[in-house]
Structure 1
Amino acid sequence: MNHSPRIRTVLGCTLLVAALGAGVTACGSSGHPLSAKPYDAASQISFSGPVGSKKADPDKALEVTSQGDEGRITDVTATDALGRYVAGELSADGRRWHTTSPLAADAQYTLHVSTEDEDGAPGRKVLTFETGNPSKEKALKVTFGPEGGKYGVGQPITAELNKPVKDPKARAIVERALKVDSKPAADGGSWYWVDSKELHYRPKEYWPAHATITAHSNLAGIKVTDRLWGGKSKPLTITTGDRMEAVTDAGNHYLTVYRNGEEINSIPVTTGKPGFETRNGVKVVLGQEYSVRMTSASIGAADFYDKEVYYATRVTWSGEYVHAAPWSEGSQGNENTSHGCTGMSTSDAAWFYDTFRKGDIVKVINSYGEDMDPFGNGFGDWNLSEKKWTEGSALSGTDKPDPVQQARLSPEV
């Protein structure tokens, strides 16, 4: 906002004091216009906002103009009920002030308008109004995932939008409003747009162990596009446990388990045989099932099998598990004979099943298989480098958040 008219008024008072040599007395004299109580400026200004109980259209800019040829507007401030400021601009001649950022929907606003007449006497007017609520068809809502609970340090935070957002500028507005915090703090972190309706958030390298992670949206009432406004969304809180990592070396047929960086177990395993090689890369535990029926038809294998598998820890949606495979114990630790899963003895699988939880890390190295997909078949988010990950953000290449958007999302302090 342009505060220059107010500054000139104060300087004029200072010069008058110096000229009269009377200190504050001259400026505070009852005969000077600035000593008077501010008059009601209602008749001096015109406001484009609603009258009475009507609500303002948040799509339209607000305007305050000076009426007549005498006097001018010196300052206008506009805030909502939470103390968030609306950006505005005052013309150089003091004749017009207007908003330069959109209003929030379904919000209460207060405008403080300052004026002065031809003699320099100050006027004041306080205006209050409410904005309307866009139709439900325009509401953009966010569903955070996973469900609240305790997870491993590899669990990404997800944000599912109920409507697609494709425009880069609109995506930036959405992304700035989606907040994720970790205590203790994680190293780095940003959102990645998987597609027009799904975002994932992860730090640079896993979450801290025993952390509390919260996600919430500040989108409520925020204009995203001409046809889309932010709606209210439920916040999310999850916690992490120990940092649990399982590293399967398909070349030497062993799975090594680490807790908080220290090795706690080494298990002989068998992984995918030629033609069914296990995927390389980092996967995240998706869930656990005590028993799963696995058939050759589910993966199109030529050699027939139909088995009830126990202590199954799932790592991809397409059916890759760490599970008990008592029929292959002779090969475990020696050769790869499975159709892509990691097989081990029943006792080892039961231990793994009891030790790992959703969000824990399962990594495969030295396999001849393809690399784990980043998205679409589980959580392969960690297989993208930090550089590639940040390129998936709508804010990539920006050093600072948009100042207008920040003013609307956060109260001034």
Structure 2
Amino acid sequence: MSSDNTISLVPPAGPLIGSVTLPGSKSITNRALLLAALADGQSRLTGALKSDDTMHMAEALRRMGVGIEEPDDTTYMVTGTGGLTVPDGPLFLGNAGTAMRFLTAVSVLAHGTVVLTGDAYMQTRPIQALVDALAHAGVTITATNGSPPVRIEGAGRLDVKRFEIDGQLSSQFVSALLMLAACGEEPIEVRLTGNEIGARGYIDITLACMRAFGAEAVQVAKQTWRVSPGGYTAGDIVIEPDASAATYLWAMEALTSGHIALGNQALTQPDAAAYPLIRSFPQMPRSINGSQMQDAVPTLAVLAAFNEWPVRFTGVANLRVKECDRLQALHAGLNAISPGLATLENDDLIIDARPQLAGTRVGTLVETHGDHRMAMSFALAGLRVGGVLIRDPGCVAKTFPGYWDTLVSLGVELV
């Protein structure tokens, strides 16, 4: 590393070959932590992710009366009492979107005032749609200018019949309401307005996690679920590896003609759909709809820079409201590497493939905006192009703390 705040890769001379143990899924870990916390009894979560995001979730739950122990690097022992207590002060959640959205909903189960806040990035991320959905159902809740901090006046119980929310805005909003609904006094319907569901695969993950902890949710219409009351039952769950993390390793294979063994466990998360697209490199499709695998789009976009022909990414407007405006960050970073490499047309991202960049050297600093996916994705460019300097490499701790060590283990030199 050239400094504590930047990192650059030396493009490897040959293929990357090795074996890597992926971190656990962030999406499943944070759902499982929450549902185990809401159950009465002890649950064991194995294969879990230990990262900034899951640390924020676990610490917040501890402060709300949940017993959480960590006997090893991939296990949580969670002891819940079937409810949550009011914390002794505001809960700081960093930039952990799942923790913020999920806790915003379930904080209504505490009896008293709960304040959720986060870092500067979090305080620009939209949450008003979830706040409105809860408010319309009778919850006393406010947000600051449509973003965190969020203040919830919890009633200690949930006595509503229906939640309604636009399913296009964020699957995390929908998941938050579904998980809360199982804690109701009577059956609760969760109904999605609008014509589309953003990242439907993550809602499926939520429903699977709910079933694993004993809750029943039945789809009664195209965009409506009826969730039975009764809460959650403690149990043991094995968390699968993180598919979003896997996309970086798959891309490393593609860019270097390498072979990186990741184990044979099947991945059910939406970003696993990126695998055949990455395997098609350097002849990726000319158009890719990223709406159902949004966290894989930065990986695919950087890979597309070295494709044989241009690639247009559609259905990616929601990338603007992630940890940063990822469309703008990808546009700026790719054009810093080679002017004109990326173009934005409204919310479509077009990559003007330039395989001739491979083997060249640039002297450019890529701003990550503290976004782990920007750092990990632009590291991929550094496998083909020298002199790509990445700002704030430590931000990968959000979901993949061992990312840079993984690259070193595969033979990549970091400077």
Larger RCO (alpha carbons 8 Å, 6+ apart): 2
TM-score range, shorter chain: under 0.3
**Structure number with higher strand proportion:** 1
TM-score by length of 1: 0.18
Which is higher, the Rg of structure 1 or of structure 2? 1
The structure whose residues are more often helix, as a share, is 2
